[in-house]
Homo-oligomer: A and B are copies of this chain.
Amino acid sequence: MRHPRFTLSSFLILTLSLLSCQAPPEAPRPNLIVIFCDDLGYGDLASFGHPTIRTPNLDRMAQEGQKWTHFYSAASVCTPSRAALLTGRLPVRNGMMSPKSRVLFPDSASGIPENEVTLAEALRAEGYATACVGKWHLGHLPQYLPTNNGFDSYFGIPYSNDMDQTRKGSTRELVKTARIEYWNVPLLRDQEVVERPADQRTITKRYSEEAVRFIRENRERPFFLYLAHSLPHVPLFASEEFLGTSKRGLYGDVVEEIDHGVGQIMQALTDLGIAERSLVVFTSDNGPWLPYKEHGGSAGLLREGKGATWEGGMREPTIFWWPGKLDSGVVMEMGATLDLFSTFCEIAGAKVPADRIMDSYDLGPVLFGTGESPRKSMFFYRESKLYAVRLDEFKAHFITKPVYTGRTEAETHHDPPLLYHLGRDPGEQYDVAHLHPDVIQSIEKLVAVHQSEMVFGEDRLAQQSPDARR
């Protein structure tokens, strides 16, 4: 149980921080909002090149804010990606990535470790109101739920919307004629199931409404909102208002409904007069789920999608918005969901845990135009193995393996690694390893240091038990 520990430590931290900032009265601390999509592809927003999905709100957000074109999730599937965002640590460090299971399932017996400090915990310790709305997927048993991990409240589904299937047959077939009752996914408020199966047709709309309500109710104090949409992960559902309206079909309907919700959030912040002290970040957990064809998204010109350590699997369409505060424009420097931890803590004056290795950089210099991104590298893990590493503009693939083919596929080890220049060749098409042995050497040195410090956490994803089933 985390609560007792939190209360004590938060009291101490709060006291210390109150003591340290007695002098001039400070401006109210900024609100922090993450809007996190599920399986949205790099190429799925109009401003990221999609020709038939309308995202006017996100386009405006990108136009007024910063459009990041080299922003990564820390894993190419759901559970480890979310763990990384909320802890600022690579999921291999805390057992939230596993060689045996890609993600958590309804019969998983475990979840996010108790000794991990979540971003919500760090911010709540500084007096932030915290809410989690949407998909969790870091453990569905009570001790792993958001309200035991730093969030004051929770409204959403505990795992993926395609889990707990009630019909026989492949998910690929079921999603084509999806009905909500094909999946027995529970909808929770805090720790209670309030609807089962969750009515996914209205879920995006309800998440956005819940987010706006939380914003309104907390307009007088700093807050952290983690809005993790459960869509456009298959099965796809949209509310009546959006169903059948997008040229992109059902997938487009879903993305356009999410975009609409983003517009509602921006509007609420503006109407309440708090937009200028609110940072909103929009991104996604991993790339598009390509085997689902029209029901999956598009990575644009990037290679591959969800599950892969190619760019399409882990580079996300990302927007930072903070009216009057950010240098607006296109940002081509590197950032990652891992970095939201340090960036938010820096902005909020919160503590980044000092007793453990963090994989999180403060992106403030880029946001506020004072310097370069401190992130110069990115480690691409899959199933707890280091598959690829990016250093500056170059990415080396040491291992590659096909994804979601339905067969057990073999790894291919590359020595020398495949090497791509992501600036000149963003689609990872032209191996230039033979031209840059020096770069490979630099990357190998980086890997050696990284691996010498790596301690793998106990595997949390492979622990399954029928009793755990919710």
A residues sitting closer than 8 Å to B (CB atoms) are 43, 46-52, 54, 56, 59, 63, 67, 69-70, 247-249, 251-252, 293-294, 298-301, 315, 329-330, 332, 393, 421-427, 429-430
Contacts and interface: CB of A to CB of B under 8 A. Distances in A.
Given A393-B247, A424-B248, A51 B332 contact: yes
Contact of A49 (B247, B251, B301, B425): B301
Given A43-B301, A293-B429, A300-B301, 18 more contacts: A46-B67, A46-B330, A49-B49, A51-B301, A51-B426, A52-B69, A52-B423, A52-B426, A247-B332, A248-B426, A249-B421, A249-B424, A251-B424, A252-B423, A293-B430, A294-B424, A298-B427, A300-B300
A143 to B, nearest CB: 41
A330 B300 contact: no
Contacts of A315: 51
B49 A300 contact: yes
A69 B56 contact: no
Contacts of A421: 249
A38 B54 CA distance: 28
24 contacts: A43-B300, A43-B301, A48-B49, A49-B49, A49-B301, A50-B301, A51-B315, A52-B332, A52-B426, A56-B330, A63-B63, A247-B393, A247-B423, A248-B423, A249-B421, A249-B423, A249-B424, A251-B424, A252-B423, A252-B424, A294-B424, A298-B427, A299-B301, A300-B301
Contacts of A298: 301, 426-427
A320 B46 CA distance: 17
Nearest to A59: B330
A70 B52 CA distance: 9
Contacts of A293: 425, 429-430
Q: Residue among A52, A63, A249 with the most chain B CB within 10 A? A: A52
Contacts of A249: 421, 423-424
Contacts of A330: 46, 54, 56, 59
Contacts of A299: 301
Name the 9 nearest CB pairs between A and B, nearest first: A49-B49, A51-B69, A247-B423, A249-B424, A52-B423, A298-B301, A49-B300, A294-B424, A300-B301
Nearest to A47: B47
A425 B63 CA distance: 27
A155 to B, nearest CB: 31
A425 B246 CA distance: 12
Contacts of A393: 247
Contacts of A426: 50-52, 248, 298
A330 B429 CA distance: 30
B43 A294 contact: no
A454 B63 CA distance: 46
A442 to B, nearest CB: 19
A421 B246 CA distance: 13
A41 to B, nearest CB: 9
A295 to B, nearest CB: 10
Given A294-B425, A298-B427, A300-B301, A329 B52 contact: no
Contacts of A424: 52, 247-249, 251-252, 294
A298 B329 CA distance: 22
B43 A49 contact: yes
A232 to B, nearest CB: 13
Contacts of A67: 46
A47 B46 CA distance: 8
A50 B425 CA distance: 11
A383 to B, nearest CB: 27
Nearest to A297: B301
A394 to B, nearest CB: 12
A453 B46 CA distance: 38
A430 B49 contact: no
Contact of A56 (B56, B247, B329): B329
A424 B294 CA distance: 6
A315 B429 CA distance: 22
Contacts of A430: 293-294
Contacts of A46: 67, 69, 330
